[in-house]
Amino acid sequence: MRIDPSDFTHLSTNLTLKDSTKGKQTDFSDTLRDIIRETNTAAKESEKIAVDLAQGKSTNIHEAMVSMQKADISIRLLISATNKLIAGYNQLMQLR
């Protein structure tokens, strides 16, 4: 069986630097702000689904549990990244 590379057009490795930088350049602070916003949205959605479940408006416990786990993972990841940023900043300040 022979595999032709043209079968996998979406896996092209012929990217140039110009192609990867065509899009809008984003700041680190913009990226961080977007991640915080997405995490906050996930937490709020999870809370709403949990309240709906507790009030009897929804009977889908699986959806509530998955939503709460996604929010928990997002929050833990954000806290971990924040701690790493603070540790990196402290190390830079010690170099001065």
**67, containing H or E segment:** helix 61-95
pLDDT for position 1: 46
Q: What is the mean pLDDT of the chain?
A: 83
d(CA 39, CA 78): 8
| Mean pLDDT on 68-80 | 95
Report the 10 Å Cβ neighbour count for 53.
18
Domain boundaries, the chain: 29-95
Ramachandran region of residue 22, left (φ > 0), alpha (ψ -120 to 50) or beta?
A: alpha
Contact 85, 31 (CB under 8 A): no
